[in-house]
Amino acid sequence: MFGEIKGLNEECGVFAIWGHKDASQVTYYGLHSLQHRGQEGAGIVVSDGDKLSTHKGLGLVTKAFKEGELEKLQGHAAIGHVRYATSGGGGLLNVQPLLFQSQTSGLALAHNGNIVNANGVKSDLEREGSIFQSTSDTEVIAHLIKRSPHPTLEEQFKDALSTIKGAYALAVLTEDKLMVAMDPNGLRPLSIGRMGDAYVVASETCAFDAVGAVHEREVQPGEIVIIDNDGMRSQLFSKPADRQICSMEYVYFARPDSDVDQINVHTARKSLGKQMAKETPVEADVVTGVPDSSISAAIGFAEQSGIPYELGLIKNRYVGRTFIQPTQELREQGVKMKLSPVRGVVAGKRVVMVDDSIVRGTTSRRIVQLLKDAGALEVHVRITSPPITHPCFYGIDTSTKAELIASTHTTEEMREKMGADSLAFISIDGMLEGIGRSSQDKNCGQCLACFTGNYPTEIYEDTVHPHDKVMNS
């Protein structure tokens, strides 16, 4: 659930609200509940009808916003954003929402996703004299809006969206209008809810629960939703397509209490675990999950197999963003920071270890080793996603293809490398079944690109992988 241990990183969470007198405060709590989607920085832009105001900060929402700073952000509408932790780059400049002030009006954007033709569009814009302060996709969108010859902001926004390709869940705020949009394939999640009379929009529905709002519906692929003093209205800026939402949202990213495209994440994960137990059963004494994202699946595996579920691995809750790394020497002596095996649970036992995915394979190897060191007789690894063999260009930092162990190793080779007694991945059909989609249906509703290489959009020659950008969004 939280990317700290993984080689897989979600990129950002978006929250927006219209029509609430404490818009910035509500956004703060909404962003806090989306914190698992990004920990590098957080920002809020608020409108009071006359002007936009903003505050941004590095680190967690609770660090970026200190007492008193919310009070300065007065207004009835706001958009907010949490950014995921890139290794080095970034800094405050890259924290969203981006706010562009002209002499007459302001424009703020918050974006989750990745624009695959950003480089080409940017080159065109630069040739015409545009200046960029960042390498962010989001800034490209702002320029496209401002350069559009259309007379109204809504038209300009649609014009801009017709130029960009890729994945986006976008929120745009001006002094008198909130607009949100979803890419034509619906690759990233974005939901609409109501909080009393106010409208709220969020990357995940857990944010609605956090602020006491009620979930109403999903933003649809290719849809723009406009909210202003006349209420909410909707348009399609692109011909309707079948949704292909990112499968890893169910498997790994989203919070268990969120409903993604109307499917509860905990329930989906539990089904994935059950499905695995059916596909690749194993004789064992205990089932354990790698915290936090695989707990639900482990419970499902246990329920289906009849093998008791136990806390076999404990995650240290206090691992923050900065700590002193153990030296190689101490690591070899067994010093560890994040994950501990529960000796009393696994010693002398045959353990089923349920995990959600394998990226580079190093984490899995380390966990298998932990369990064996703690006395596990056998470790059977069950992965609730199919092998990841292709990079993602839609907003997930999965490293390059060469780094994806499943693209260069067979399952048996991986098993051997990680020292497991058995290793199995869920099948693609099994995963779809677990999530609740019909694999029979040509349009299964899910993006499977990282498992199959069939990307739902064109991929340009100079498509930039998020990993290679100074600033992702």
Based on the shown chain and the rule CB under 8 A, indicate whether residue 212 belongs to the binding site for its own copies: yes
Indicate which single residue of 73, 213, 307, 368 sits in contact with its own copies (rule: CB under 8 A): 213
Smallest gap, in angstroms, from Cβ of residue 60 to its own copies? 5
The least CB distance from residue 82 to its own copies, in Å, is 10
Q: List binders of its own copies among 238-277 (CB under 8 A).
A: 255-257, 259, 264-267, 270
Question: Strands 446-447, 245-246: parallel, antiparallel or unpaired by DSSP?
Answer: parallel
* Cα–Cα dist 118/395, whole Å: 13
Nearer to its own copies, 65 or 425 (CB): 65
Apex 241 CA angle, 82 and 187, nearest 5 = 20
Shortest distance, CB of residue 370 to its own copies, whole angstroms?
9
- State yes or no: residue 163 binds its own copies (CB under 8 A): no
- Taking a C-beta distance cutoff of 8 angstroms, is the pair 228, 428 a contact? no
Size (the chain), residues = 473
Would the annotation count 33 as a binding residue?
Answer: no
- Residue 27 DSSP SS3: helix
Is 201 a binder of its own copies (CB under 8 A)? Answer: no
222/216 Cα distance (integer angstroms): 18
- For residue 468, which amino acid is it? D
Residue 6 Cβ, how far from its own copies at the closest point, in Å? 14
> By CB under 8 A, is residue 152 in contact with its own copies?
no
Minimum separation from the CB atom of position 23 to its own copies (A): 11
How buried is residue 50: exposed, middle or buried, by Cβ count under 10 Å (0-12/13-18/19+)? exposed
* 429 vs 285: CA distance, rounded Å: 28
236 binds its own copies, rule: CB under 8 A: no
Q: For the CB of residue 451, give the shortest distance to its own copies in the complex, in Å.
A: 25
Q: Is 316 in the site for its own copies (CB under 8 A)?
A: yes
Q: Tokens in use for 354?
A: 């349920």
Nearer to its own copies, 318 or 440 (CB): 318
Candidates 87, 152, 317, 328: give the one binding its own copies (CB under 8 A).
317
* 168 contacts its own copies (rule: CB under 8 A): no
Count residues binding its own copies (CB under 8 A). 94
* Residue placing its CB nearer to its own copies in the complex, 311 or 459: 311
Which of these segments, 226-234, 237-245, 314-322, 436-444, binds its own copies (CB under 8 A)? 314-322
Report d(CA 399, CA 98) in Å as an integer. Answer: 26
The distance of closest approach from Cβ of residue 345 to its own copies in the complex, given in angstroms and rounded to an integer, is: 6
User: CA 413, CA 429: separation in Å to the nearest integer?
Assistant: 23
Residue 12 makes CB contacts below 8 A (sequence gap 6+) with: 37, 38, 81, 82, 83, 84, 96, 111, 112, 113, 203, 395, 472, 473
Instruction: Count how many Cα atoms sit within 13 Å of the Cα of residue 456 in the half-sphere of its side chain.
Output: 27
Minimum CB distance to its own copies smaller for 214 or for 236: 214
8 A C-beta contact, residue 224 and residue 172 = no
The answer to the question of residue 62 lying near its own copies (CB under 8 A) is yes
User: In the chain, how many H helices and how many E strands?
Assistant: 15, 23
Residue 84 beta carbon to its own copies: minimum distance, rounded to whole angstroms: 13
Q: Is 206 annotated as a binding residue?
A: no
Strand partners, 178: 173, 227
Residue closer to its own copies by CB (options 112, 135) is: 135
Q: Which of residues 108-147 bind its own copies (CB under 8 A)?
A: 119, 122-123, 126, 128-135, 139, 142-143, 146-147
Task: Give the number of other Cβ atoms within 10 Å of residue 175's Cβ.
Answer: 17
Is the CB of residue 3 less than 8 Å from the CB of residue 10?
yes
194 binds its own copies (CB under 8 A): no
Q: What does the alpha-carbon distance between residue 345 and residue 353 come to, in Å, rounded to a whole number? A: 13
Q: Is 293 annotated as a binding residue?
A: yes
Q: Is 211 in the site for its own copies (CB under 8 A)?
A: yes
Q: Is 39 in the site for its own copies (CB under 8 A)?
A: yes
What part of residues 84-113 is at the interface with its own copies (CB under 8 A)? 92-93, 100-104
Span interacting with its own copies, options 160-168, 324-332, 384-392, 434-442, rule CB under 8 A: 324-332
Q: Which is nearer to its own copies, 221 or 466 (CB)?
A: 466
> Taking CB under 8 A as the rule, does residue 70 contact its own copies?
yes
**Between 246 and 286, whose beta carbon lies closer to its own copies?**
286
Which 14-33 residues touch its own copies, going by CB under 8 A?
22, 25-26, 28-29, 32-33
Q: Which of 320, 362, 452, 468 binds its own copies (CB under 8 A)?
A: 320
The 3-class SS string of 282-298 reads: CCCCEEEECCCCCHHHH
Catalytic residues: 12
Side chain identity at residue 63, one-letter code: K
Q: Which of residues 326-385 bind its own copies (CB under 8 A)?
A: 326-327, 329-330, 333-337, 340-345, 374
Is residue 450 marked as binding? Answer: yes
d(CA 200, CA 194): 6
H or E segment at 362?
helix 362-373
Tell the burial category of 402 from Cβ atoms under 10 Å away from its Cβ (0-12, 13-18, 19+): exposed
Pairing of strands 378-383, 422-425: parallel
Residue list, annotated binding site for Mg(2+): 293, 355-356
